[in-house]
Amino acid sequence: MKKILTIAIVLLAALQAKAQILQPVQWSYAAKKTSDKEAVVFIKATIDAGWHVYSQFVKDGGPVKTTITFNPSSTFSLVGATTEPKPIMRMEKVFSMEVGFFEKSVIFQQKIKLKTGQATVTGKLEYMTCNDQKCLPPDEIEFSIPVK
């Protein structure tokens, strides 16, 4: 009986520890048709106060930049590169370089050309989140965005 009780306590402690993992960024997705043959895909990061995510355009030697990769598809093609608003620029001593980042929220946009009436845009994004004291390990998430 003591062994079962000990196992239960260990399992509950493990579940409690997992629930406390920091996730200061929530991602959401949308798409809007701009014509019968074109659409824009929106990838939004909502960032907790005090935290930031990095631009797609961070030089080598700096933090992990936000990277958005789209899976190839027969239903659409990418038009140009993924765009982002102008980032906040700051010299970060830990990286000994000026880096661009976003606070509160940021929306990345990708234009696509539709080969059929609708599509599902899939892919993955990699990003790193930091605050003034620490950085969390880079994270990678898969996404699926319907375009109707």
Query: Domain total for the chain?
Result: 1
pLDDT digits (tens, 9 = 90+) for 4-57: 433 434 344 444 444 468 899 999 999 999 999 999 999 999 999 999 999 999
In a domain? residue 135: yes
Q: How far apart are CA 86 and CA 4, in angstroms?
A: 56
In a domain? residue 18: no
In a domain? residue 16: no
In a domain? residue 12: no
At residue 8, φ and ψ (nearest 5 deg) are: -60, -40
> What is the mean predicted confidence (pLDDT) over 53-74?
96
Decide which of 3 and 134 is more confident. Answer: 134
At residue 5, φ and ψ (nearest 5 deg) are: -65, -40
In a domain? residue 118: yes
pLDDT confidence bin for 1, thresholds 50/70/90: very low
Q: How far apart are CA 19 and CA 136, in angstroms?
A: 16
In a domain? residue 32: yes
Q: What pTM does this model have? A: 0.84
In a domain? residue 7: no
Per-residue model confidence (pLDDT) at position 17: 43
Residue with tokens 């830990």: 94
Give the domain CATH number at 61: 2.60.40.1250
In a domain? residue 6: no
Domain that holds residue 53: 23-147
Q: Is there a contact between 142 and 68 (Cβ–Cβ < 8 Å)?
A: no
Q: Is there a contact between 101 and 88 (Cβ–Cβ < 8 Å)?
A: yes
Sheet holding 76-83, edge to edge: 25-33, 38-47, 105-114, 76-83
At residue 115, φ and ψ (nearest 5 deg) are: -95, -15
